[in-house]
């Protein structure tokens, strides 16, 4: 009833002539099975040990932890288990939903198409922690995305604006802080199901380019964050599978271990972490007030 399972790094066919012509590639080149984009992201960051935790933030976002056996979310709360293509490892996975996509939309709406992502990140760095009460719900929330479902969101700010007019800097930073809060909530769920706390987090994907997010995240989590200096970690993970298929390495573990993985370690600042605990609780309370079941 089910097709046979194929390991990552195995060739599963060759590229058809029609697609090859569309993509500008030679017909007949081998097609290799890799893994999901999120698990390829973990491979691209070199994660290969039990208890390693990583967040891959691209168009969408996920938080995962490696475990030495399948850890099932029997209460069907927020996570699911997956096989990892190294050794006998598994993953506990939570999806945050739109991340980079929502940020791109926000930049286009506020900047009118004239603002770059880098400029928006620079502006976000000018706003204070907590964003003077500005809060964002544009996708990433406290619950995993499939569980959260569709709902209402937006940018929320204190009124009347006569007393304080929020700037684009407040809104951009508010969004980055919301992503950090979502990672915190979902990482806690992942750790509970995995039965082990996260002692550090590896960060990759296009949104890892954000200096503000890379600074906010360890303060919100209270643990070190290792930011990949190569954001395109999913592509690197997929390439590791291709190298195995091409015979350059004997297995995925060898392929991943032979790649260069460079990180910038970001440490939490205790005073900032204490401050963010209050902001995080405020964000959770606002989410509860916005939720239909509240």
Q: Residue 153 is part of a domain; what is its CATH number?
A: 3.30.420.40
Residue 75 has pLDDT above 80, yes or no: no
Which residues are bridge partners to 53 per DSSP?
Answer: 65
Q: How far apart are alpha carbons 84 and 43 in whole angstroms?
A: 9
pLDDT of residue 163: 85
Q: Is 275 contained in some domain? A: yes
Q: Is 185 contained in some domain? A: yes
Which residues are bridge partners to 11 per DSSP?
Answer: 32
pLDDT of residue 165: 92
173, 279 contact by CB (below 8 A): no
**What domain range is 97 assigned to?**
37-235+260-290
286 confidence band (pLDDT: 50, 70, 90): very high
Q: Is 72 contained in some domain? A: yes
Whole-model pTM: value is 0.93
What is the number of residues in the chain? Answer: 294
pLDDT digits (tens, 9 = 90+) for 4-50: 888 899 999 999 999 999 999 999 999 999 999 999 999 999 999 99
Residue 53 has pLDDT above 90, yes or no: yes
204, 233 contact by CB (below 8 A): yes
Return the minimum-mean-pLDDT range out of 76-80, 113-117, 179-183.
76-80
Q: How far apart are alpha carbons 5 and 10 in whole angstroms?
A: 11
Q: Is 26 contained in some domain? A: no
Q: Give the 3-state DSSP-derived string for the chain, with helices as H, strands as E and coil as C.
A: CCCCCCCCCCEEEECCHHHHHHHCCCCCCEEECCCCHHHHHHHHCCCCCCCCEEEEECCEEEEEEEECCCCCCCCCCCCEEEECCCCCCEEEEEEEEECHHHHHHHHHHHHCCCCCHHHHHHHHCCCCCCHHHCEEECCCCCCCHHHHCCCCCEEECCCCCCCCCCCHHHHHHHHHHHHHHHHHHHHHHHHHHHCCCCCCEEEECHHHHCHHHHHHHHHHHCCCEEEECCCCHHHHHHHHHHHHHCCCCCCHHHHHHCCCCCEEEECCCHHHHHHHHHHHHHHHHHHHHHCCCC
Q: Is 246 contained in some domain? A: no
Residue 138 has pLDDT above 70, yes or no: yes
Q: How far apart are alpha carbons 63 and 91 in whole angstroms?
A: 10
146 confidence band (pLDDT: 50, 70, 90): low
| Average pLDDT score over the chain | 93
Q: How far apart are alpha carbons 79 and 28 in whole angstroms?
A: 39
pLDDT of residue 5: 82
Q: Is 22 contained in some domain? A: no
How many structural domains is the chain composed of? Answer: 1
Q: Is 31 contained in some domain? A: no
Residue 147 has pLDDT above 70, yes or no: no
pLDDT digits (tens, 9 = 90+) for 172-185: 999 999 999 999 99
């Amino acid at each position: 009833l089910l097709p046979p399972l194929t390991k990552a790094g195995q060739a599963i066919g060759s590229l058809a002539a029609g697609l090859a012509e569309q993509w500008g590639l030679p017909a007949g080149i081998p097609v290799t099975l890799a893994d999901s984009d999120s698990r390829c992201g973990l491979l691209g960051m070199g994660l290969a040990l039990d208890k390693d935790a990583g967040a891959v933030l691209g168009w969408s976002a996920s938080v995962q932890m490696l475990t030495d056996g399948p850890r099932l979310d029997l209460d069907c709360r927020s996570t699911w288990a997956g096989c990892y293509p190294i050794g006998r490892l598994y993953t506990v996975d939570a999806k945050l939903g739109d991340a980079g996509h929502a940020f791109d939309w926000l930049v286009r709406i506020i900047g009118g198409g004239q603002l770059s992502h880098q400029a928006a990140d620079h502006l976000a760095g000018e706003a204070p922690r907590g964003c003077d009460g500005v809060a964002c719900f544009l996708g990433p929330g406290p619950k995993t995305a499939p569980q959260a479902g569709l709902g209402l969101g937006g940018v929320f700010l204190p009124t009347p604006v006569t007393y304080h007019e929020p700037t684009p800097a407040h809104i951009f930073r508010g969004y980055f802080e919301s992503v950090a809060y979502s990672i915190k909530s979902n990482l806690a769920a992942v750790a509970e199901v995995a039965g082990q706390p996260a002692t550090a987090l590896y960060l990759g994907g296009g949104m890892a380019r954000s200096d503000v997010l890379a600074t906010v995240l360890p303060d919100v989590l209270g643990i070190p964050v290792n930011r990949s200096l190569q954001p395109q970690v999913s592509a690197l993970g997929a390439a590791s599978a291709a190298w195995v298929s091409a015979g350059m390495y004997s297995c995925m573990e060898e392929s991943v271990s032979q790649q260069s993985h460079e990180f910038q370690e970001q440490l939490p600042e205790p005073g900032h972490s204490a401050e963010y605990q209050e902001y995080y609780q405020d964000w959770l309370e606002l989410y509860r007030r916005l939720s239909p079941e509240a």
